[in-house]
């Protein structure tokens, strides 16, 4: 099992390099390929600040969020996000609803501002706000700002505490308690808290982003705990623990399936065909990623459909079809499609 886990980790590292050119936050690009200047051009009245040289340590969901900030006549006149690995649909909300609010502010006003994060894109929002303030601190003092102190208050927020309790329950209680009623409660909490309220789940995109950019301070505590249940629990005989006890989408499918007693009976031949389809799909997607083709498929796994106001229509449709089929087939997406779940399974089970 350890060999399979290491092999999958190396495969995903290759994907992370292909997607972002980084490993654990270290840029593998040729030195000097990007400018290390903070002020790109202009005069004291009108200048452009590039945050890549001063805010690379600030991480969103997919890594740093470099910005080119134009300051004209003492006010922010333009903000241009540069290439980043954030999920496009979610980051467009950050750009439209958050970054635009800084236009017309003075650097001092930006530093004093307390804007609200975009719901469902909290990590991207926080990173964008911290990056803006890092750039405006340079604009005011004309020297490289110190790195931001860790905001320990995150650990005390209601969202963190409640979601962490739900994850802890799903990770620990099933080790000692086998009760159908408790299982139903846990599945419902997964859907309501981890899914709709917090948008907390494992996905290919999250795993690849962590390999490429490293962990994101305190905001990675809960996802890291989920990764332990997915990759470490199997070493102690708890295979598929994350998929069966914590995944919000898997929980929603199971709850939907519990509403009906009659299910389609799939013959052994059909089950074998569906298993081959799942494995073939996973192999094809990995091959495409290694080739640098269609890396964007990771952004279309249906987990983000819980954040339905931000998710793309394709993601929502896939999620709705999966839940609808769950009434007649047990957990269809989990068993016959899910690339993330198949990754966990391949690291656990010999072929």
pLDDT of residue 75: 93
DSSP H helix total and E strand total for the chain: 14, 6
Q: Please give the Cα distance from 124 to 93 (Å, whole number).
A: 10
Residue intervals in the chain for CATH 3.30.390: 39-141
Q: Please give the Cα distance from 68 to 52 (Å, whole number).
A: 9
Give residues with Cβ within 8 angstroms of 251, minimum separation 6. Answer: 186, 187, 188, 190, 191, 195
pLDDT of residue 272: 95
Query: Taking the alpha carbons of 248, 319, 96, 67 in that order, is the dihedral positive or negative?
Result: positive
Average pLDDT of the chain, as a whole number: 86
Q: Are 223 and 209 in contact (CB under 8 A)?
A: no
Give residues with Cβ within 8 angstroms of 157, minimum separation 6. Answer: none
67 forms beta bridges with 81
pLDDT of residue 31: 43
Find, among 111, 133, 123, the residue nearest to 154 by Cα.
123
Q: Nearest 10 degrees: CA dihedral of 116, 136, 80, 29?
A: -110
pTM of the model: 0.81
The helix/strand/coil state of 44 is coil
The CATH number of the structural domain formed by 39-141 is 3.30.390
pLDDT of residue 349: 61
CB atoms within 10 A of CB 204: 22
pLDDT of residue 183: 96
Task: Render each residue's pLDDT in the chain as its tens digit; 351 residues.
Answer: 677 778 888 888 888 888 777 787 777 754 444 555 676 666 667 889 889 888 888 888 777 889 999 999 899 999 999 888 788 878 888 999 899 999 999 999 999 998 888 877 777 888 899 999 999 998 888 776 777 766 666 677 888 899 999 999 999 999 999 999 999 999 999 999 999 998 899 999 889 888 888 776 667 889 899 999 999 999 888 989 999 999 999 999 999 999 998 889 899 999 999 999 999 999 999 888 888 778 888 888 999 999 887 788 899 999 999 999 999 999 999 999 999 999 998 887 654
Q: What is the CA radius of gyration of the chain?
A: 22
| Alpha-carbon distance values, 46 to 40, 117, 136, 139, 331 (Å) | 11, 29, 13, 11, 57
């Amino acid at each position: 099992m350890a060999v399979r886990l290491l092999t999958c980790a190396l495969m995903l590292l290759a994907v992370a390099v292909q997607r972002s050119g980084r490993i654990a936050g270290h840029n593998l690009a040729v030195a000097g390929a990007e400018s290390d200047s903070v002020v790109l051009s202009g005069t004291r009245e009108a200048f452009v600040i590039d945050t890549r040289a001063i805010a690379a340590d600030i991480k969103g969901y997919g890594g740093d969020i470099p910005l080119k900030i134009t300051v004209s006549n003492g006010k922010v006149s333009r903000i241009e996000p540069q290439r980043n690995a954030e999920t496009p649909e979610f980051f467009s909300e950050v750009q439209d609803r958050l970054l635009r609010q800084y236009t017309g502010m003075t650097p001092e006003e930006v530093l004093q501002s307390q804007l609200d994060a975009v719901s469902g894109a909290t990590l991207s929002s926080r990173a964008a706000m911290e990056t803006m303030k890092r750039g405006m601190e340079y604009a005011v003092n004309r020297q490289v700002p110190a790195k931001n102190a860790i905001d320990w208050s995150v650990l005390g927020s209601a969202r963190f505490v409640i979601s962490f309790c739900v994850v802890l329950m799903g990770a620990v209680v099933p080790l000692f308690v086998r009760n159908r009623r408790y299982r139903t409660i846990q599945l419902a909490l997964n859907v309501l808290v981890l899914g709709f309220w917090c948008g907390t789940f494992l996905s290919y995109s999250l795993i690849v982003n962590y390999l490429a950019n490293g962990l994101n301070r305190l905001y990675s505590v809960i996802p890291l705990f989920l990764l332990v249940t997915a990759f470490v629990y199997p070493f102690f005989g708890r295979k598929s623990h994350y998929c069966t006890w914590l995944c919000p989408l898997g929980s929603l499918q199971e709850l939907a399936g519990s509403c009906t007693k009659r299910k389609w009976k799939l013959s052994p031949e059909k089950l074998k065909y569906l298993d081959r389809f799942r494995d073939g799909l996973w192999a094809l997607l990995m091959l495409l990623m290694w080739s640098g083709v269609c890396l964007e498929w990771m952004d279309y796994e249906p987990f983000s459909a819980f954040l339905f106001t931000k998710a793309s229509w394709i993601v929502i449709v896939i999620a709705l079809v999966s839940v609808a089929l769950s009434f007649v087939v047990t957990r269809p997406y989990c068993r016959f499609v899910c690339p993330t779940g198949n990754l966990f399974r391949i690291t656990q089970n010999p072929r």
